[in-house]
Structure 1
Amino acid sequence: MGTVFRTEITVGYEDEGSGEPLLLVHGHPFNRSMWRPQIAHLGQAGWRVIAPDLRGYGESTVVPGTTPLETFARDLLALLDHLGIERCVLGGLSMGGQIVMECWRHFPERIRAVVLADTFAAAETAEGRAARHAMAERLVREGMTGYAREVLAKMVAPHHLAARPEVAAHVMEMMTSTAPEGAAAALRGRAQRPDYTAQLSQMPVPALVVVGTEDTYTPVSDAREIHDRMPDARLVLIERAAHLPNLERPDEFNAALEEFLRSLPADAAADTPGTPGGPA
């Protein structure tokens, strides 16, 4: 059952399980339902899993125009404050991974560890900026359906389209139900994103870097670069998965994520008396 949080916008989110918090950030053009396999598994494995809809997606408020990654990061910080969570493991896929890196720029003290799935750290190229702006205009003009049909076979590996039609249907439903104005605003914001590459070496927290071996949007080489630059990272390749390994091969993804979470040292902040989310 979803919950809503109202500040300058309304944010829909899931908050399942109990224990130490794990906040998962979806990619574009999806919504929080992309994390269903992880919410179900980890919520029963001793973790409190929080998965919000980003502004412009799912049940959250659509704000036309441009949504910089910093705005998404500030929305997540407001949600953590609302929930009384001082520190969390923060994970994201694709655009969600870039939002995780943006969160580190602004409030690293709130982040215990990071999960970066099928994402990349470099700034957008001039060609990429032009393409994102052109796509934003197309989505507003034409809607999401044509775009969704074009990219489905890159989001989900072609062999899974036939073998796992329920996954393909879920991904298609997420994309086509997204408001074009919200998706366009995010595309314009991503075109402006900074280069996070140098920042990676300054992120001393434990990191899990995950990528599908058949991902053409963010290939294995991008994941290796992130892994090699971070001081305390482990790299996991999900075989026979494309851009959404958490949905295409959820058992393998969940196993890697749970192993990483179980390896984390105890969070001293969570045990500090009077700390939000800790013992009173």
Structure 2
Amino acid sequence: MGYYIQVERGVKLYVEDVGAGMPVLLVHGWPINHKMYEYQVNQLPKHGFRCIGVDLRGFGKSDRPWTGYSYNRMADDIRVVIDTLGLEKVRLVGFSMGGAIAIRYMSRHHCHRVIQLTLLSAAAPAFTQRSGYPYGMKKEEVDSLIVQNDTDRPLMLENFGKLFFASQVSPPFRSWFHSLGLEAASHAIAATAVSLRDEDLRPDLGRIHVPTFIFHGLLDKICPFSLALLMNKGIANSILLRFEKSGHGIFYDQLDLFNPSLLKVLRS
């Protein structure tokens, strides 16, 4: 079932709601949408989970305002979705940029109605290198992505998509995955890239006080494994699950390992 939720005047987010039972709120990464979780949403409802996939503003079927792409605003959007649906005891799952937004949500909204956090290849605690922080991409690399987005977005998405998976994915799967990025608004891709480049979640990590699981691929070329180690160190009592043969696309690279691992975590 799909529907829209108004998160501020003139801005509605698209929500895909599948199954019944314990709520799992799924936040996608850059520059794709909720459909990335297809291979989890077709399984989790069989085990008593209600999967709620949200298209962030500017992505998928959601509205595409010109502004509002900071982590604070997008975390506030998640709060509105949770409150509007009256969700309780939420298991929050965030992938890549969605993981960063989930961390900001937990910090900014004091873990409101969330009892568990799962971070998948999260773009945190900071996505880019800066003084005293030699981890992640260089800011100039993100600037290059923005320029490419503004001049040949399909090519940028194709090249970025080549970095996602460590395993061999079929040409039809790669074409499908590429199409998810094409569904986004170009200005939203650029604006959220600026947030990825500039936001810093290091102060947020210590404000997370729910069981937290960090899923990260050792072969991740977008959010290197060093980021997972930093998150594990910064989030009290968090548990790091290391996927030896996965790249950034951890939700698909080792699907036969990932889905059972996620199910075990959600049940805990």
After TM superposition, the score normalised by the length of structure 1 is 0.84
Give, in whole Å, the separation in 1 of the partners of 2:29 and 2:36.
Answer: 9
Q: CA deviation at 1:109?
A: 2.9
47-56 vs 240-249, greater mean Cα deviation: 240-249
The one-character-per-residue Cα deviations of 1:69-125 (angstroms, maximum 9, x if unpaired) are: 111111111111110114411111110110011101221232211001112213644
Count of paired positions: 258
126-135 vs 77-86, greater mean Cα deviation: 126-135
The one-character-per-residue Cα deviations of 1:39-61 (angstroms, maximum 9, x if unpaired) are: 11111111111110000100001
The reply on whether 1:176 has 2:182 as its aligned counterpart is yes
Aligned position for 1:138: 148
Aligned position for 1:250: 255
Q: Which residue identity lines up with residue 93 of structure 1 in the other structure?
A: F
Aligned position for 1:210: 215
Aligned position for 1:74: 76
SS in 1 for 2:168: helix
1:72-151 to structure 2, matched below 5 A, reads: 72-107=74-109, 108-119=111-122, 120-122=124-126, 124-125=128-129, 128-142=138-152, 144-151=153-160
Q: Is the 8 A contact 1:19 1:47 kept in 2?
A: yes
Aligned position for 2:6: 6
* Larger-Rg structure: 1
Distance 1:65 1:78, change over 3 A: closer
Aligned to 2:197, which of 188, 191, 214?
191
Give, in whole Å, the separation in 1 of the partners of 2:139 and 2:160.
Answer: 18
Aligned position for 1:19: 21
Q: Which residue identity lines up with residue 151 of structure 2 in the other structure?
A: R
* Backbone CA RMSD of aligned residues: 2.1
Give, in whole Å, the separation in 2 of the partners of 1:248 and 1:123.
Answer: 21
93-102 vs 208-217, greater mean Cα deviation: 208-217
SS in 1 for 2:267: helix
Distance 1:66 1:4, change over 3 A: closer
The reply on whether 1:221 has 2:226 as its aligned counterpart is yes
Aligned position for 1:277: none
Q: CA deviation at 1:25?
A: 0.5
SS in 2 for 1:155: coil
Q: CA deviation at 1:249?
A: 2.5
Q: Which residue identity lines up with residue 97 of structure 1 in the other structure?
A: G
The one-character-per-residue Cα deviations of 1:178-218 (angstroms, maximum 9, x if unpaired) are: 22111112112333313x23432342211110012211111
SS in 2 for 1:112: strand
**Percent same amino acid among aligned pairs?**
25
Aligned position for 1:272: none
Aligned position for 1:58: 60
The one-character-per-residue Cα deviations of 1:12-38 (angstroms, maximum 9, x if unpaired) are: 111111112111100000000001111
